[in-house]
Amino acid sequence: MENYTILMAPYSVGPDSYKKIPEYCRLYGTKAVVIGGKKAMAAAKDKILASIASSDIDILEFVWFGNECTFETAKHLEESEAVQAADMIFAVGGGKAVDTCKLVSIDLNKPYFTFPTIASNCAASSALSIVYNEDGSFCDFVHFLESAKHVFIDTEIIAKAPKEYLWAGIGDTYAKYYEVSVSARGEKLEHYMALGVNMSRMCMETLVEYGAQALEDNSRGIASYELEQAVLAIIITTGWVSSLVARNHTMDYNGGVAHAFFYGLCNLPKFDENHLHGVVVGFGVLLLLLIDGQEEECRKMIEFNRSVGLPVSLSDIGVTMEQVAACTATMVKDEDLEHYPYKVTEEMILEAAKKLDK
C-alpha cells in the first residue's frame, strides 16, 4: 500500500473568530503581510489589527492583490518588499485573491492563512488555485499538497457582504454532492476518498435545510446560526471534500456535467463576465440529474432552486437552445468529464436542456 498523509485546513468561525489569530499564527513567526481585494481588506482591516494589538504579531503592509489570479500577478506580488520580508501571508477576500496568495505562498515557501469575506466558494480551505490569463480567460488548475494553516471565518463580515455571493455559493456547493457521487460511482475507494464522497452529501443537505433562511439573514446583515451553517458548507465542507477526492489527476472525482456546462458557455461573448459561476452551476445540476436518469431527484432540486432563486430554465440564465448547441462540443471535452462512469454526449446535454425548458 502507498503511504500518504491527509492535511485538512482547520478553521475558526463566528463574529469573534479573528481573536484566535495570535494563538494559531504565532507558531509561524511575527511578521505578516495582508494580501487581498480592496473591499475585502477594508471590511477586515480593523478586526485584524484589533486582534493582534496585544500580541507580538506585526502587519508589515496591506497589499492589493490585483484584478485576476494570474501567474503574472503572483510574480509581481512576490517582488514586493513586504511580501519578501513577511514570515506568513494573510489572504483576505474572495476566491481570486485567496488563490493568488496560494501561488505566492508556494513560490516563496511561506505559510498562509485565509480570511474569507464572502461565501461564494471553497477557495479559503481548498488546496487548489484556479488561474486565469491576463485577459480573464481560464488558464490552469494548480494543485497543492497542503491547504491553509488556518481559516478564519468572521460571519459578521460575511453577513454584511452582498447577497449574490452567498447565492452563487449555494449553487456551486450543492453541485459538489451530485458531481462527486456520480464521478466516483462504481469505484473502489481508498479511505480518504470514501470519506470525501460520503462527506459530499453534507454539501447538499445543509444548504437544502438552511440555504433559504441564510439568504434572508444575509440580506438583513444578520450573522445567524442558519447563515453560519450555510457558510461552513460552502467554505469548509466543500473545500475538504474537494481535497479528499482529488489526490491525483487519474482519481479526481470533483468534476461533472454542472461545471462542464458552465465552462462550455464561457465560449459565448462575455458570458462569464455577466453570470455568477455558482448560479449557472446550480442550473447545471439539473442537467446532470436528467442525464443521469434521476428525474425524481431533479424535480426535488428544481423546487429547491426555486426556493432560493436559482435558475430552473435556460431563459433564467439568459441563453437559448441554439447557444447551448453551439457550446456542447466544448462541454463534452471539458476535463470535468474526464473521470465519469459513462461518456456524456452532446445529444444528452441538448435533450436534458429541452426537457427543462418544457
CA atoms of 290 and 355, how far apart (whole Å): 8
Phi, psi of 115 (to 5 degrees): -135, 80
Tens-place pLDDT, residues 71-121: 999 999 999 999 999 999 999 999 999 999 999 999 999 999 999 999 999
Residue 237 Cα distances to 104, 230, 233, 250, angstroms: 25, 10, 5, 23
Q: How many CA atoms lie within 13 A of 246 on its CB side?
A: 26
pLDDT value of position 1 = 52
Statement: residue 61 has pLDDT above 70: yes
Tens-place pLDDT, residues 37-50: 999 999 999 999 99
Asked if 271 contacts 138 with a C-beta cutoff of 8 angstroms, the reply is no
pLDDT value of position 134 = 86
Statement: residue 249 has pLDDT above 60: no
Number of other residues whose CB lies within 10 A of the CB of residue 341? 12
pLDDT band for position 337 (50/70/90)? Answer: very high
Statement: residue 250 has pLDDT above 70: no
Q: Which residues contact 203 (CB under 8 A, 6 or more apart)?
A: 173, 174, 175, 176, 177, 233, 237, 238, 241
Regarding pTM above 0.85, the answer is yes
